[in-house]
Every structure is written in C-alpha cells, then in structure tokens.
C-alpha cells in the first residue's frame, strides 16, 4: 500500500506546486477569489480565499445583516484586476495594518465600515491571514524532490554495482543482496 500511496501523494504534491506557481504568476495581474457568504438574522458571515499579489489570503468577515450579502448567498467565484479595485485596496490596507508580518506571512485582525454594496455601510469585524505562494510551493515540492533524489541514488548504486536498497557492494555476487535480501539488479560478469 505504501508503494502506491507515496507516488500518488508525490504526484498530487507536484500538481499543487504547479497550480500555486501558476496562481503566483497570475496573481501579479489578476486577483482570484472564492467566497462563501452565509447571511443570517443576527450576523452575516463571509469566508473568502484570495490569490492576491504572490500570496494566498484567507479572510473571515462578520457584519451586521446587509442587503448585498443576500445577493451573494452561497459560493461565489470572482476574478478581477489586481489593481484599482475596492477589494485590492482593502487587502493592501489590511497587509499594511497587519499586526504580524514576517517573510510574507501576515495576520491582521480588522474592524471597518463595510461600504462594498449599495445602501448604508455596516460595521464589520474581520481577520485576515496571508501565506506567501513561495512557502506553499516549496512545501509542495519537498516530497516530489525527495522521491526524485531517492530514485537517482538508486540508479547511481545500481550503476556502481551496489544494492539499490542498501548500497551493499554486490560485485561478484549474484541473486539476492546478502545484506538486505533485495533482488539484485546487478550481476557481475
């Protein structure tokens, strides 16, 4: 089972790495967002995930019931230019106001007047958490890279006449490795 699970996990990890790198490049010109809006009697709650200027930002917002949230109830996907929009300016000011900002990781608890819709602005409370794309891409690349490295180590051992699994010198030995029992790929003449 482990023999199948690891390559599948490494493949998925590599796919995630490629997607994040693509979002990273794309986020310089385009901001993508996925929102889940849940309007309620007492307080509307909005959960948003942004791909914005080289980072993934998670935002949790709660505000007094607002008519515009009724229009966006449920899941919504948005894409818009990374510059000159209300959301971009909001994310930018949140990043500047972040209580914690280190190596592209940042956290900002925010309270503001939400005037994003038509009608009377409502008081909102929010927190935002940003993770840099490079950190996610690096983490996602670790498993595929370690598997590739292991593969090259095995190839080097086999070509040097050693056991692929443990590196035991198999020159002059045929059949299984006496050290670890691995079926030998190398037979000396």
User: What is the binding site for Zn ion (CB under 5 A)?
Assistant: 163, 165-166, 168, 177, 179-180, 182
Q: Which is nearer to Zn ion, 46 or 163 (CB)?
A: 163
Q: How far is CA 7 from the centre of its chain?
A: 19
The two structure tokens encoding residue 84: 């000159």
Residue 29 CB, nearest approach to Zn ion (Å): 53
Q: Which is nearer to Zn ion, 107 or 168 (CB)?
A: 168
Q: Which is nearer to Zn ion, 40 or 180 (CB)?
A: 180
Residue 187 CB, nearest approach to Zn ion (Å): 14
Q: Is 154 helix (H, G, I), strand (E, B) or coil?
A: helix
The torsion angles phi and psi of 160, rounded to 5 degrees, stand at -95, 5
Q: Is 172 helix (H, G, I), strand (E, B) or coil?
A: coil
Residue 156 CB, nearest approach to Zn ion (Å): 14
Q: Which is nearer to Zn ion, 89 or 183 (CB)?
A: 183
Q: What angle (nearest 5°) sits at the alpha carbon of residue 48, between those of residues 44 and 51?
A: 165
Sign of the torsion formed by the C-alpha atoms of 153, 157, 158 and 163 = negative
Residue 186 CB, nearest approach to Zn ion (Å): 11
């Amino acid at each position: 089972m482990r023999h199948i699970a690891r390559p599948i996990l490494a493949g998925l990890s590599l796919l995630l790495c490629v997607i994040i790198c693509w979002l990273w490049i794309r986020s310089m010109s385009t901001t993508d967002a996925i929102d889940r809006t849940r309007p309620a009697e007492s307080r509307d709650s909005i959960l948003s995930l942004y791909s914005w200027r080289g980072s993934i930002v998670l935002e949790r917002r709660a505000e007094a019931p607002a008519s515009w949230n009724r229009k966006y109830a449920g899941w919504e996907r948005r894409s818009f230019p990374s510059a000159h929009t209300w959301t971009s300016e909001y994310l930018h000011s949140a990043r500047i106001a972040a209580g914690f900002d280190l190596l592209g990781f940042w956290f900002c608890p925010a309270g503001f007047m939400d005037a994003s819709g038509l009608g009377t602005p409502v008081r909102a409370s929010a927190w935002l958490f940003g993770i840099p794309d490079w950190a996610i891409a690096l983490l996602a690349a670790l498993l595929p890279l370690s598997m590739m490295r292991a593969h090259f180590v095995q190839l080097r051992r086999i070509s040097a006449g050693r056991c692929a699994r443990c590196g035991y010198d198999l020159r002059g030995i045929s059949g299984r490795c006496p050290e670890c029992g691995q079926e030998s790929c190398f037979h000396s003449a």
